[in-house]
Structure 1
């Protein structure tokens, strides 16, 4: 078994905390953790085609269909058929439907605001760049895993 460097341990502790928080939010809402990821994606990007959701989350289409079914049943999203091509389906958040989600995330927002107070405005671009790069690295690694690499 490989020995981890101290900085590796800090990052792993961060990952554990984020994963457990996402699971706790999902549990509170009666959803799966990937459902929370889809909700965040829709909140950030607006309505998305079902295929885009599959691609962004790295899920097979059948899994994405079940995910959308769960979110629809919970009252978070609705499917919208294309006006010109009825075969195209877009998924959009229901206005006001994220109330439970927002409430579940209130504690984390409060605690993260305190963390933000430790950094000056000049440090924000560096932190955002790091988050963007780490996020892309994990997306690529996830794709590699799902593609059998």
Structure 2
């Protein structure tokens, strides 16, 4: 019995460490992206939209709004700014001229991509310490984690359409931190 309890506690501690490490990594990724956006002279949210465009390929503005959760009006502003910066272009559909797609300008995107080289090199160094089997496990973890976070995001976004009085209460207890001397 004591052995099962100690395994449960050990697993809980391991899961806590893993969650903390993932949160640190996620936060650092956001901060790195912010630094890239600052160097590129664009907003971090615009950079994230550009990354989604890069991953999705040429898409309609409505699809970009759907994927990001932004309104179509907000997406118009993002696309306007990215187009002005030379990072994306609007392209008319060949068969239906009323349809407009947003596409990344590869030459300009490559310039921003160069800002990610130090991070990519650092990660390649980390990955070089893992076997192919371990990399497949990490890939499975990343893909399953992405799907889980996507589902959780969809659930959270559902609260936006819920009137504030019907939303679950957030129990935040804000306290002042003691001043560091």
TM-score exceeds 0.5:
yes
| Normalised-by-shorter TM-score class | 0.7 to 0.9
Equivalent of 1:66, from 77, 87, 91? 77
Equivalent of 1:117, from 125, 128, 139? 128
- State the Cα distance separating 1:92 from its structure 2 match: 0.9
- State the Cα distance separating 1:43 from its structure 2 match: 2.2
Secondary structure in structure 2 of the residue aligned to 1:68: helix
- Across the aligned residues of Structure 1 and Structure 2, the Cα RMSD in angstroms comes to 1.8
Gaps (5+ residues) in structure 2?
1-14, 161-181
- State the Cα distance separating 1:119 from its structure 2 match: 0.8
Matched, 1:54 2:65: yes
- State the Cα distance separating 1:97 from its structure 2 match: 1.5
**Distance in 2 between residues matched to 1:131 and 1:95, nearest whole Å:** 26
**Distance in 1 between residues matched to 2:126 and 2:29, nearest whole Å:** 15
What TM-score does the superposition give when structure 1 sets the normalisation length? 0.87
Higher relative contact order (CA 8 A, sep 6+): 1
The answer as to whether partners of 2:49 and 2:68 remain within 8 angstroms in 1 is yes
Secondary structure in structure 2 of the residue aligned to 1:59: coil
Moved more, 105-114 or 132-141: 132-141
Q: Which residue does the alignment assign to 1:28? A: 39
Larger radius of gyration: 2
- State the Cα distance separating 1:86 from its structure 2 match: 2.5
Query: After superposition, what is the alpha-carbon deviation per residue over 1:13-48, rounded to whole angstroms, capped at 9, x for unaligned?
Result: 112111111111111111222222222222233211
- State the Cα distance separating 1:114 from its structure 2 match: 0.6
Q: When the two structures are aligned, how many residues end up with a matched partner?
A: 146
Matched, 1:144 2:178: no
Matched, 1:128 2:139: yes
What TM-score does the superposition give when structure 2 sets the normalisation length? 0.73
Equivalent of 2:96, from 71, 85, 98? 85
Gaps (5+ residues) in structure 1?
none
**Distance in 1 between residues matched to 2:149 and 2:158, nearest whole Å:** 14
